[in-house]
Structure 1
Amino acid sequence: MIRVLIVDDHAIVRRGIRDIIADEPDMTVVAEAADGPEALAQAQCCEWDVCLLDLAMPGMHGTDVLARLRRECPGKPVLIVSMHSEAEYGPRLLRAGAAGYLPKETAPELLVTAIRQVAAGARYVSPTLAAVLEAKKRKIAAGRRPLHAALSERETQVLRHIATGRGLSDISSLMGLSPKTVSTYRYRLLVKMRMKSNAELTRYAVENKLI
């Protein structure tokens, strides 16, 4: 039996969640709280497996309650159920230790699924939140890519030639391109790599073992 602690300052919301859980044979509500201090008191005196926690409550914000529960009840999952934007708040609260994040407009069956999932020791991440997390991961990965990863093959060739000290006419002859075309490639290099001179390009090429 999954024992649930409901923390929300709106009685009608607590009632709605309680009614949803009452229909599930493997779940029961063991306690309710209308604010942070009451939630912490209930968490200490009751045996519970999953806490459903609102964010916006009087006196003590849900993020502070989450931090206290993580410290005082380690290993017990806290599932955030909030009216706030999933994309905006979800990633931050997962990093803070929440087991999952659900908007209050979530369908009852998804709430039940999330409770079972976090009670089993997993995190609950909705498809919407998963997409947000993946986009953030890709953005971070892109920021860590070396500058030359964005260069075309031709631009990389020009960079190597510049770094070896070759002049415009030599590069033109070696690559079979007009001086004007080579000059255009050099300009693109400087823009893409946010540099101002051949010396900077050369230093970068040496440091990144491109020559």
Structure 2
Amino acid sequence: MIRVLIADDHPIVRRGLKTILKDVTDIKVTDEACDGLEVMEKVRNEEFDVLVLDLSMPKLDGLEAIKRIKTEKPDLAILVLSMNPEEVFGIRALNLGASGYLSKDTALEQLILAIRRVASGKVFISQLLAESIAQNVSRGSPRLPHEHLSDREYQIMLMIARGMSLKAIGAELSVSVKTVSTHRTHILQKMKLENNAQIVTYALQNSLLT
């Protein structure tokens, strides 16, 4: 039996996943978490085979959670299930130790297949993500400006590009406005941009918001 922990900040999503998986004979949802800190608590105190994780989590975002979990529980398979574009966040999640990445609009059959695959110690990626990885490998050219950003900077850059204020970003990530402002400064410096408008333009030109 594959023991699954579902981590998503939306109750309706957690409930939906539990309903979908309840009739799958070899998969059992044994617990759930609504924020990143609760995920860490559950992982430390209980045993799971697969963590199905959303990236946009309050208190501790998904990418940071992956880092910490792989340090404390390196054998736990992590399957990211997120609304964030696979080709944008997928490679970063895999590099941090996730075993798979799926979009929330994925078909039920593919989700079940992905859970089984990562539980067996294998990696699961969609065709879209596989093509993105192949393009990165074959490109052979210098990294694009946004590829020099840390995971947190990259996340904040996309939030700025979507029009979120520093205050809103801080609330979403459970950090101070000052911390967000510092990250913004580093983002502008690393990407050689001057303001938020240029961040928006860059993100659109490089299809980072698709």
| Paired residues, number | 142
TM alignment of 1:73-84, pairs within 5 A: 73-84=73-84
Residue 102 (str. 1) matches residue 105 (str. 2): no
TM-score for the superposition, normalised by structure 1: 0.65
How far off is 1:135 after superposition?
A: 1.1
Q: What's the % identity of the aligned pairs?
A: 43
1:2-41: CA deviation from partner (whole Å, max 9, x where unpaired): 0000000000000111111112000101110000111111
Paired letter, 1:133: I
How far off is 1:76 after superposition?
A: 1.1
1:144-199: CA deviation from partner (whole Å, max 9, x where unpaired): xxxxxxxxxxxxxxxxxxxxxxxxxxxxxxxxxxxxxxxxxxxxxxxxxxxxxxxx
TM alignment of 1:161-180, pairs within 5 A: none
Moved over 4 A (4+): none
1:96-127: CA deviation from partner (whole Å, max 9, x where unpaired): 11101011111111110000000000000111
TM-score for the superposition, normalised by structure 2: 0.66
1:30 and 1:46 in contact (8 A); partners too = no
Provide the secondary structure at the position in 2 that maps to 1:39. Answer: helix
1:100 and 1:123 in contact (8 A); partners too = yes
Residue 51 (str. 1) matches residue 46 (str. 2): no
Paired letter, 1:16: G
Residue 35 (str. 1) matches residue 35 (str. 2): yes
Matching residue of 2:21: 21
How far off is 1:81 after superposition?
A: 0.6
1:50 and 1:77 in contact (8 A); partners too = yes
How far off is 1:45 after superposition?
A: 1.7
C-alpha distance in 1, partners of 2:42/2:118?
Answer: 20
Q: CA RMSD, aligned part only?
A: 1.1
C-alpha distance in 2, partners of 1:47/1:58?
Answer: 23
Matching residue of 2:93: 93
5+ residue gaps in structure 1? 144-211
5+ residue gaps in structure 2? 143-210
C-alpha distance in 2, partners of 1:31/1:123?
Answer: 23
Provide the secondary structure at the position in 1 that maps to 2:125. Answer: coil
How far off is 1:67 after superposition?
A: 0.8
Paired letter, 2:77: P
